[in-house]
Amino acid sequence: MPAEQALTVLVAEDGAADRLLLAQIVRRQGHQVVTAENGEQAVALFIERRPQLVLLDALMPVMDGFEAARQIKALAGEALVPIIFLTSLNEEEGLVRCLEAGGDDFMAKPYSAVILAAKIRAMDRLRRLQATVLEQRDQITRHHHHLLNEQRVAKAVFDKVAHSGCLGAPNIRYLQSPYALFNGDLMLAAFTPAGDMRVLLGDFTGHGLPAAVGAMPLAEVFYGMTAKGYGMAQILREMNAKLKRILPVDMFCCALLLNLSMQRGSVEVWNGGMPDGYRLSVDGQVLSVLNSRHLPLGILAAERFDDSTEVLPLAPGERLLLLSDGVLDTADDQDRLFGVQRLRQVLADNRDPAQLFDELMQALERFGGRPRDDISLCDIRMFTAEERVPAPMIYSDSGRSSPLDWSLGFEVRGESLKRFNPVPYLVQLLQEIHGLRARTGSLHSVLSELYSNALEHGVLGLDSQLKRDVQGFADYYQERARRLGSLTGGFVSIDFKVEPHGDGGRLKIQVRDSGAGFDVQRVLARPSRDQGLSGRGLNLVRRLASDARWSDGGRCAQVEFVW
């Protein structure tokens, strides 16, 4: 039996006869014995020999057993060195003193070899149990440090990917608990080439590493496609398909994706499984709730995925408040949840929207007491034209001179008009013209405007005057979706002609549609303040391009870029 492992036992007893007797008993049990005549010697021997067990006479000269026990226990630290007091004290008080000085057991004189052997075995079991507990505790501590270090490194890598965007823009205020990533929360923001701001707040199911792993590909898709100017629907489809492909069945990602367009004075929203977001007026009133209308990303197969978005007007100074369920599920000491009602109360009590973020944080603190580590909160103010940060330019100059004499015709027809947005591909193609690269943003804006004008006002025959007010705005986009859904014919054709011009070159863009055309002079003559939420597009095109004109009764737009 392993319990019979030999120990070094310290015997401290001032009576020479008793000391010899004890030493003999213990030695016969197979242990090594060291002996001391008083407490001071006992402490010195303990330091020198580090015995695993101590038999200590209570009453000794020079230093008594009580003091020796205190010193030995202090020297032993966390390890258990059992001390058995040897005592003729019979009164309760004396025995209590033995235990209070650090003794683990006591043994009355005269000594019984059988009982002493049993006590040593029992104490040895305790000693080894304590040693095991300490060893496991240290192991857990080491693993924990290791894990924290891995998380720190992983977070540093992820931050490089996730925060390569524009979360630091002046119109965004956000809070993400330091290790929210390891709880599956994700917050991304970036500008499109046309200067729209795109924001994603996501929340993966589950916790820890599995939840964090999916965040990386999602961030890559988000940044890659946003930089190339893809629309919301295309990005959503790509993210959904990618997550569906890589995640196990029981994992998915709740997400709220936004596109803020300064040019259109609107925000486009898709919410799949995230808590309600809020659209707030300049004075903090709740204008509308951005509620979840879709299944989270990564659940549905591509053919069943619903990429339909909602478009709402958003004027400069108006705000969006987004949050993760960590905010609503913050619990107080009685396990009550913060919940939607308390959040709505904070919104209702707010007088200055610029303070809302702080007020919400204070309310959570007052309510919860213990902060959760998976809180994500984001406050976005619609920016003004002056605040727009230019999209980062991606130069990949091959060193060869770019082709400067070519043309291309491109036509999107019927069914393809419902889903396909050719603008990102075409802008990508125009990147080949090095002289135009600095104007990629303008090119993207102009092509986007011309294409959506041709599609919405031309092919679909929608009247932009509808967008005069907030209700009209909603009606417009509902009608757009309805007409697009039942579309069977029609076309939008886009022609590029590139030619050398002086030291540089010239790009001619022609966009033609199958619609009924419009009264160009009347629309362009309309003063911009009367345009309200509509008709900003044409003026934007005129401002960004070198030259812009409309012909064929408004069915054909011709735009030039010269460099």
Partner 1 sequence: MAVETDFSQDGKKLTIKVKGRFDFGKHQEFRDAYERQPDRPDSVVVDLKDTTYLDSSALGMLLLLRDHAGGDESDVRVVHASSDVRKILAISNFEKLFDIS
Across the beta sheet with 185-191, the strand order is 185-191, 197-204, 253-261, 266-272, 310-313
Compare residues 273 and 441 and give the one whose CB is closer to partner 1. Answer: 273
> Could you tell me the CA-to-CA distances from 466 to 262, 471, 475, 479, 532 in Å, in that order?
19, 9, 8, 10, 10
Compare residues 325 and 373 and give the one whose CB is closer to partner 1. Answer: 325
Residue 143, number of CB atoms within 10 A of its CB? 10
CB of 302 to partner 1, least distance (A): 13
Site for partner 1, residues 55 to 74, rule: CB under 8 A? none
H helix or E strand, kind and range, residue 189: strand 185-191
Compare residues 285 and 292 and give the one whose CB is closer to partner 1. Answer: 292
Compare residues 275 and 505 and give the one whose CB is closer to partner 1. Answer: 275
Place of tokens 């007091």: 85
CB of 337 to partner 1, least distance (A): 10
Of the candidate residues 299, 436, 533, 559, the single one contacting partner 1 (CB under 8 A): 299
Place of tokens 């630091």: 168
Site for partner 1, residues 145 to 184, rule: CB under 8 A? none
Q: Under a CB-based contact definition with an 8 Å cutoff, are residues 468 and 459 in contact?
A: no
Structure tokens at 247: 């995640």
Of the candidate residues 51, 65, 229, 273, the single one contacting partner 1 (CB under 8 A): 273
Of the candidate residues 29, 285, 288, 292, the single one contacting partner 1 (CB under 8 A): 292
| Cα–Cα dist 372/369, whole Å | 9
Site for partner 1, residues 302 to 341, rule: CB under 8 A? 304, 325
Site for partner 1, residues 196 to 255, rule: CB under 8 A? 203, 205-206, 249-252, 254
- Single-letter amino acid code for the residue at 87: T
CB of 272 to partner 1, least distance (A): 7
Compare residues 240 and 421 and give the one whose CB is closer to partner 1. Answer: 240
Site for partner 1, residues 445 to 474, rule: CB under 8 A? none
Structure tokens at 32: 């090594």
Q: Under a CB-based contact definition with an 8 Å cutoff, are residues 254 and 273 in contact?
A: yes
Compare residues 244 and 434 and give the one whose CB is closer to partner 1. Answer: 244
Compare residues 202 and 441 and give the one whose CB is closer to partner 1. Answer: 202
Determine if 366 is a binding residue for partner 1 (CB under 8 A).
no
Alpha-carbon torsion, ordered 211, 217, 219, 221, to 10 deg = -150
Site residue total, partner 1 (CB under 8 A): 21
| Cα–Cα dist 222/230, whole Å | 10
Compare residues 275 and 535 and give the one whose CB is closer to partner 1. Answer: 275
Count CA atoms closer than 13 A to 410's CA, side-chain side.
21
Strands (E), 304-349: 310-313, 319-323
| Cα–Cα dist 262/537, whole Å | 11
CB of 538 to partner 1, least distance (A): 39
Determine if 256 is a binding residue for partner 1 (CB under 8 A).
no
Binding part of the chain for partner 1, among 96-104, 129-137, 267-275, 371-379 by CB under 8 A, reads: 267-275
CB of 289 to partner 1, least distance (A): 12
Determine if 295 is a binding residue for partner 1 (CB under 8 A).
yes
Using a 10 angstrom Cβ sphere, with 0-12 exposed, 13-18 middle and 19 or more buried, the burial of residue 364 is buried
Compare residues 43 and 253 and give the one whose CB is closer to partner 1. Answer: 253
Compare residues 187 and 253 and give the one whose CB is closer to partner 1. Answer: 253
CB of 328 to partner 1, least distance (A): 10
Binding part of the chain for partner 1, among 81-89, 125-133, 269-277, 439-447 by CB under 8 A, reads: 269-277
Of the candidate residues 109, 293, 468, 555, the single one contacting partner 1 (CB under 8 A): 293
| Cα–Cα dist 105/69, whole Å | 12
Residue 333, number of CB atoms within 10 A of its CB? 9
CB of 273 to partner 1, least distance (A): 4
Binding part of the chain for partner 1, among 289-297, 355-363, 393-401, 438-446 by CB under 8 A, reads: 289-297
| Cα–Cα dist 549/419, whole Å | 28
Compare residues 105 and 306 and give the one whose CB is closer to partner 1. Answer: 306
CB of 251 to partner 1, least distance (A): 6
| Cα–Cα dist 450/554, whole Å | 11
Compare residues 226 and 324 and give the one whose CB is closer to partner 1. Answer: 324
Who's near 300: CB < 8 A, 6+ residues apart? 240, 244, 306
Place of tokens 């104007």: 439
CA-angle at 234, arms to 442 and 544, nearest 5°: 10
Q: Which residues bind partner 1 (CB under 8 A)?
A: 203, 205-206, 249-252, 254, 272-275, 292-296, 299, 301, 304, 325
